[in-house]
Amino acid sequence: MVAPVWLLLQAGSLSQRQIAIDAPFCAIDGTLPALDRIVGQTSKRGSAATMKPEKNKPRVGLFVTCLVDLFRPSVGFATVQLLEDAGCEVSVPFAQTCCGQPAYNSGDRKDAREIARQVIEAFDGFDYVVAPSGSCAGMLKKHYAELFADEPDFHKRAVAFSLRVHELVSFLHDVRGVREVAANLDAKATYHDSCSGLRELGIQKQPRQLLSSVEGLNLVEMKGPDICCGFGGTFCVKYPDVSNAIVGEKTKSISESGADLLLAGDLGCLMNMSGKLKREGSTVKARHIAEVLAGMTSEPAIGEG
């Protein structure tokens, strides 16, 4: 992957001011990616011998998410590569299992709180916590703190934790200033905005911007990309008839878009949509956006052997 700043430098038209514009403040924690950090991203490619390598790479803890861990590890490895290409040092704390949403969204606050505590403690000391999922990142970032409303000390810690949490694509784009990737894939793709990423974290333009830089990829919009796919965690098995009606509308929009590849940032939604597409006999393939951005598409698509 070639960082955008590198391309601009190659073009010889970059002033320091432009770098600052291209790598904006992270509004949440006020971190301004320093020039040397951005330069550091490019030096990783080994072709920027004249540039200073980044002295202190940001330390990123990868929250891999339970579905990626269990069903599609390739998304986890793609995430690691994207983060490393963006100049980060990536670690994966072992004391992680799940973000706790199954408990939290079932009204079981006690278990949700204990799992949240476990995650917060496991990710102590990282500059950032990144997850390849808007849903799980949203849980960590927007919901953990309120679980500790009755524990003032830990609440403070949970708030500080939440400021360090990011969803993968928005982290690359907003925090690391990545605007282009060096991947290529011949496909006509359509992107589904997963609900939590879109509405809790404001992720909409970032994935599209990065996908537009994938060589050979033609991005087309489906009708209502922001409409829920009907997954909803346990909802899809508690109310299968209704969930099926919702995902049926979604697969109709996907098919009508003429795309041959469905992309999204959340594996739960992807398993739901691709499962339905497969059942309908559709030839549309489905992948997590991280696989495409990292150029790691040699694994069969979701649901394919």
Partner 1 sequence: MVEITSPGFKDNSAGALADVNLQKAMRHVRVNFIEKRAKAAAALPEFDDLRSSARAIKDHVLDHLDLYLEAYEAKVVERGGKVHWAANAVEARGIVLDICRKVNARTATKGKSMITEEIGLNDFLEKNGITPVETDLGEYIIQLRGEHPSHIIAPAVHLTMDQVREDFRKAHTHLPADRPLNEPQSLLQEARGILREKFLKADVGITGANFLVAETGSSVIVTNEGNGDLTQILPRVHIVVASIEKIVPTLEDMSQIVRVLARSATGQEMSVYTTLSTGPRRKGDPDGPEQYHVILLDNGRSTMLGNEFRDMLRCIRCGACMNHCPVYQSVGGHAYGWVYPGPMGSVLTPALVGIENSAHLPNASTLCGRCESVCPMQIPLPKLLRHWREREFEQHLTPGTVRTGLGLWAYAAKRPALYQRMTGFGIAMLRFLSGGRGRFRWLPLAGGWTRYRDLPAPQGRTFMAQWKAQQARKQN
- Shortest spacing between CB 141 and partner 1, in angstroms: 14
Cβ at position 28, least distance to partner 1 in Å? 19
Closest to partner 1 by CB, 142 or 155? 142
Least spacing, CB of residue 82 vs partner 1, in Å: 15
What are the residues binding partner 1 (CB under 8 A)?
A: 64, 68-74, 76-77, 92, 94-98, 100, 102-109, 111, 114-115, 118, 195-196, 199-200, 226-228, 230-247, 249, 271-272, 274-276, 278-279, 299-300, 302-305
For residues 144 and 159, give the distance between their C-alpha atoms in angstroms, rounded to a whole number: 8
Q: In the bound complex, what is the minimum distance in angstroms from residue 94's beta carbon to partner 1?
A: 6
**What tokens does 59 get?**
């330390």
CA distance 207 to 197: 11
Q: Find the distance separating the first CA and the last CA of the chain, reported in whole Å.
A: 28
Min CB(93)–partner 1 separation in Å = 9
Specify the amino acid at residue 250.
K
User: Which CB, 42 or 79, lies closer to partner 1?
Assistant: 79
Nearer to partner 1, 9 or 198 (CB): 198
Q: How far is the CB of 95 from partner 1 (least distance, A)?
A: 5
- The answer to whether 151 and 113 are in contact (CB under 8 A) is no
How many angstroms separate the CA atoms of 148 and 22, rounded?
A: 37
- Are 87 and 59 within 8 A, CB to CB? no
CA dist 204 and 207 (Å) reads 6
Q: Which helix (H) or strand (E) holds 218?
A: strand 215-219
Q: Which is nearer to partner 1, 73 or 258 (CB)?
A: 73
What is the rounded distance in angstroms from the CA atom of residue 207 to the CA atom of residue 227? 17
